[in-house]
Amino acid sequence: MCGIVGYVGKENAVPYLLDGLSRLEYRGYDSAGIAVLTDKGIETEKCTGRVAALRDKAEKHNFSCNLGIGHTRWATHGEVSERNAHPHVSYKGDFAVVHNGIIENYATLRDKLKDEGYAFLSDTDSEVVAHLLERDYNGDLISSLMNTVKKLEGAFALGIICKNLSDTLILIRKESPLVVGKGKDGFYAASDMGALCGVAEESITMNDGEIAVITKEKATFYLSDGNEVFRRFEKSNLCASSAEKGDFPHFMLKEIFEQPSATEHTYRFLSSSGTSSTEELSFLPSLLQTTDRIYIVGCGSAYHTAVAGKYVFEKLTKLPTEAVIASEFCTSSIPVRKNSLCIFVSQSGETADTLSALKKAKEKGATILSVVNVPESSIARKSHKVIYTKAGPEIAVATTKAYSAQLITLYTLAAFSGYYLGVINDGDFRYYMRELSCLPKKIKNILERENEIAEFGKLLSSESSIRFIGRNTDYAAAMEGALKMKEISYIPCEAYPAGELKHGTISLVEKGSITVALCCNDSIFKKTANNIEEIRSRGGDIILITTEKHTEDVTVINRKIIIPDTDDLFVTLLEAIPLQLLAYYTAKEKGCDIDKPRNLAKSVTVE
């Protein structure tokens, strides 16, 4: 989704702006632009498509400038075009602005400004900010900025430069993230830590409502009431290597192969030595004393981890547990109360739908526990308790390693919760922990069979639609398998609980139509096996994913992927690995843009 960068310092701003935008490419975007302050005033360059094209255009100008802002846009208001790409410049050319988020009252503001004679060049909600900044400027920067901010409704992060403030970068944060970095030759700004990789040695994550006024020499922070506030730069732990593909052709494949370590680090971080005392979860016993119901909330793949987690929490804690799609949570009357524990799952920690649901749950007095991959993200900061998954930065838009780290986190959390609640005894607890500790190795084992799975992927690339079926924890995996396949290969896919097929969907089965059947949950193996036979007897083709223990039961099925055995509760995690590889190799065969699928964004910061 949209990304912001900014620079003020001793060096030319353009290389950082362009490199920073390249590092934000993974978030998903459709156009990009920069604005710099030169001796001619504010100059801009924009283009639709990739940052590489912007680089070609910008390099021709040979801009000489020490101050600038840049943006990658993911269209929300107005078509994908240069005209709508950021930065937007004010009427007289005094201000340029880049914006993330949505100005909800932009239409009213635009009408007012139009009445006053301001001409608009774009269809965006963001352009009103540029004109307002110019109109409200009274010579006193902070009071002028406050005047503008007061008029804006919605969530936003703004990067601003002003023609008359030759070495001043201005940043404003309301709900949408912004980070300020300090390097050897100046200050950097970005909507995402990733853009600061390799340039900033120290950083500050701006708080909601803060304004930062940054010159070559110093960064000054103000609260929303205009009072200055002291902020200390902290050493950044930014590692450029996570932004490199290494020997892998795509980030997605690299991240698929990072899953043994992502799950291992996450599990070890949470479970310490595998004993029943863990520092990271020491808050659990007292929290559980008052919990009578659990909601697990997320979007997309994070929601799928919630579905898988629901089965595990229900069995191990005996507490009623519901998995809820965050955007639905916001619009329904779910009976969240003081004694509800709401677990919000998010890789980015910035997903607007999840943030909105979190706010709603908080208002209702629920305890908020989040499972987040990005430290200092908005969801982490707004939660009562946070568990960080240890997947490391995830670059490919389609999540893989963050998804599996979320799963192992929910599993571990459920096992500890069940034990603390007295639902599972010491022996059972040790059994579940042992099973969990073996999962990273089993993932590695599946990855060793990449070539075999790749062949199935190639086969699927010519399909016009694919069904994914499973029951219970297998169904949670089917949902994720279908999403992964459709988002990167663009093949329409649907996931069904296997038992539901005969209630309607089986009418789609015809000779040669393809179903990926998940059949790893031992307790329901026979039932799903019956559903598979119902498909086969109607001429439908099957790719079966099952476990070693069932090898002998499935000899009649030619196309199958056999994965290691584990407890029924945890099969979803192991099933994800062949499903991710299937999606990857199908998309690769089709020549799709795997790391940056069309229309998608890594961090979805609009509702």
CA 399 – CA 31 distance, rounded (Å): 23
x/- mask, ligand F6R, residues 468-487, rule CB under 6 A, reads ---------------x---x
Q: Which stretch binds ligand F6R (CB under 6 A): 64-72, 273-281, 347-355, 496-504?
A: 347-355
Instruction: Give the span between the Cα atoms of 253 and 453, in whole angstroms.
Output: 13
Phi-psi region of 233 (alpha: psi -120 to 50; beta: other; left: phi over 0): beta
Phi, psi of 217 (to 5 degrees): -90, -40
410 binds ligand F6R (CB under 6 A): no
Task: Considering only the stretches 18-26, 50-58, 97-105, 343-351, report the one whose residues sit in contact with ligand F6R under the rule CB under 6 A.
Answer: 343-351
Between 75 and 162, name the residue whose CB sits nearer to ligand F6R: 75
Output 302 or 307, the one with its CB closest to ligand F6R. 302
Instruction: Enter the tokens of residue 404.
Output: 């599996």
- Rule CB under 6 A: say whether 604 interacts with ligand F6R: yes
| Closer CB to ligand F6R, 8 or 396, in the complex | 396
CB of 436 to ligand F6R, least distance (A): 21
Catalytic site residue from 2, 162, 197, 342: 2
Told to check if 595 binds ligand F6R by CB under 6 A, we report no
- Cβ count near 604 (within 10 Å): 20
Dihedral sign, CA of 199, 203, 205, 209?
negative
The answer to whether the CB of 38 falls within 8 A of the CB of 24 is no
**Nearest CB to ligand F6R, comparing residues 399 and 528:** 399
Please tell me whether residue 391 binds ligand F6R under the rule CB under 6 A. no
Q: Which of residues 301, 321, 378, 547 is near ligand F6R by CB under 6 A?
A: 301
Residue of 182, 401, 596, 602 with catalytic role? 602
State yes or no: residue 377 binds ligand F6R (CB under 6 A): no
Nearer to ligand F6R (CB atom), residue 259 or residue 301: 301
CA distance 491 to 470: 19
Tokens 């710099």 locate to: 36
Using the rule CB under 6 A, is 260 a contact of ligand F6R?
Answer: no
Contact status: 586 vs ligand F6R (CB under 6 A): no
Binding residues among 486-545 for ligand F6R as defined by CB under 6 A: 487
Query: Is residue 354 a contact residue for ligand F6R (CB under 6 A)?
Result: yes
Site residue total, ligand F6R (CB under 6 A)? 15
Which of the stretches 169-177, 348-356, 451-459, 587-595 binds ligand F6R when contact is defined by CB under 6 A?
348-356
Paired strand residues for 37: 42
Asked if residues 298 and 344 have their Cβ atoms less than 8 Å apart, the reply is: yes
Binding mask of the shown chain, residues 417 to 456, with x at each position contacting ligand F6R by CB under 6 A? ----------------------------------------
Is 2 catalytic? The answer is yes
Structure-derived torsion over alpha carbons of residues 145, 147, 151, 156, reported in degrees to the nearest 10: 20
Side chain identity at residue 401, one-letter code: K
Minimum CB distance to ligand F6R smaller for 72 or for 351:
351
Binding residue for ligand F6R, selected from 89, 252, 302, 581, defined by CB under 6 A: 302
CB of 350 to ligand F6R, least distance (A): 7
Dmax (CA) for the chain in angstroms is 80
Strands of 331-408 (E only): list them: 340-346, 367-372, 385-388
What amino acid occupies position 212? A
Position closest to ligand F6R via CB: 300
Q: Which is nearer to ligand F6R, 291 or 348 (CB)?
A: 348
Q: State the amino acid at position 425 in one-letter form.
A: N
Q: Note whether 299 binds ligand F6R by CB under 6 A.
A: yes
Give yes or no for residue 351 binding ligand F6R (CB under 6 A): yes
347 binds ligand F6R (CB under 6 A): yes
As given in the structure block, the two tokens for residue 220 are 């000054």
* Residue in 149, 210, 205, 208 with CA at minimum distance from that of residue 176: 208
* Distance of closest approach, residue 565 Cβ to ligand F6R, in angstroms: 27
Nearest distance, CB of residue 596 and ligand F6R, angstroms: 12
What's the rounded Cα separation, in Å, for the pair 75 and 58? 22
606 is a site residue for ligand F6R (CB under 6 A): no
Binding residue (CB under 6 A) for ligand F6R from 48, 271, 291, 348: 348
CB of 4 to ligand F6R, least distance (A): 18
- Interface with ligand F6R, residue 389, by CB under 6 A: no
129 part of the interface to ligand F6R, by CB under 6 A: no
Residue 65 among the catalytic residues: no
Q: Measure Cα distances from 479 to 166, 493, 496, 525 in Å.
A: 53, 9, 8, 18
Task: Judge whether 65 and 103 are in contact, CB under 8 Å.
Answer: no
Torsional class of 230: left (φ above 0), alpha (ψ -120 to 50), beta (otherwise): beta
Q: Does 259 participate in binding ligand F6R (rule CB under 6 A)?
A: no
Binds ligand F6R (CB under 6 A): choice among 67, 96, 357, 398: 398
Residue placing its CB nearer to ligand F6R in the complex, 291 or 347: 347
Do residues 191 and 86 touch, judged by C-beta distance below 8 A?
A: no
Pairing of strands 179-182, 169-174: unpaired
Residue with tokens 């006024």: 213
Task: Answer whether 168's CB lies under 8 Å from 8's CB.
Answer: yes
Chain centre distance of CA 24 = 13
What span, in angstroms and rounded, lies between the C-alpha atoms of 456 and 560? 9
- Give catalytic residue positions: 2, 602
- Kindly list the residues in this chain that would bind ligand F6R in the complex (CB under 6 A): 299-302, 346-348, 351, 354, 398-399, 483, 487, 603-604
